[in-house]
Structure 1
Amino acid sequence: MRSDPDLAEDAAQGSEAAYAELVRRHQARVRGMARRLTGSASDGDDIAQITFLKAWQKIGTYTGGTFSAWICTICWREYLQARRKQKIEIEFDETAEIVPFMRTQSDEVGDQMDLTNALQKLTEAQRVCVTLCVAAGLSHREAADATGWPLGTVKSHVTRGVDALRKQLASSQVA
């Protein structure tokens, strides 16, 4: 089995097969990371696709280190770009009528928190660090390099984020 750096070198020389193997090896990690960052499967898949297109265009700039960290850094940057482009518009309809509703037992079952909801309740910095270090498997140093944040900041966000997730998931009885 060929190493990621060897495949990246061949891909930089134009080998689509080598790049396809890199995509196959890393697509689940990148998609999972993007989905967790965005909180949406479709938005995450869009960012993952852009990440792999950008990586193909820039494969010649890969200079070693773990390929996983390199591709996750690209994913992080694409997520930031997508977020910058979003314009949140909140419209308030003053003529809207507030209608109370009755909760049913099925609503209460639907209220059980899953991991995605728990991640969305973290601060953005905690969600990013937990996603990079726990979900994507980057080291604290690699996550710090990807985000541009100090190493100690990344470590504290991971620690606080994981602790908060444990509390949220335990309180909602989700294992």
Structure 2
Amino acid sequence: MTARRTHGDPAPVPRAADAVTDAAAATDERIAQGLAGGEEECLAVAYRRWGRLVHTLAARSLGDPREAEDVTQQVFDAAWRGRANFRPERGTLPAWLVGITRRKVADALAARTRRTELAATLGASLEHEHRSDAEPERVLDRLVVTEELARLPRVQRDVLELAYFADLTQTQIADRTGMPLGTVKSHARRGLQRMRHSLAPAGAGH
């Protein structure tokens, strides 16, 4: 039953969740203002409304639906973390999301280029080792490492590839990627832990 309101009583202030529960009814402006104000419900509505747009743009540029899914998650994560930089009066929320998408797609393409270059370097190294009759164990080690790296989350993989194949220090990796040094160390540690866990059963009997 709805409580009766006497004359002169102030109107109840709607809760944030009430204002955006119906995604179809919420206006773009309301969603944009709520996101800028830190309302998580508005982020969820924005994802439902424009997630397909972001994914389509990423998939067209990358040609890989799975990688586009990763980029889509990154876009909305970046939108939430960078919401203080969004100004609804300067442009629409969809346009802002498209701008973030373009930057994340560029990052993904750059990472893909780095992986291609590293793979080419590894291939040349393996070919050289084969021609010089290097120990098969060295070749096997590189192949195992490459396979395990491919199973890691993208950021952890990028950090360890730069460390393992490009022979960069963690400080140099931080400078190249723009990530804080502590973040680089965290990704490297977690990636190595996952690789050790994956390789442990195979090496337990040796």
Q: TM-score, normalised by structure 1?
A: 0.49
By relative contact order (CA 8 Å, sep 6+), the higher-ranking structure is 1
**Structure with the higher helix share, 1 or 2:** 2
Q: TM-score, normalised by structure 2?
A: 0.42
Bigger radius of gyration: 2
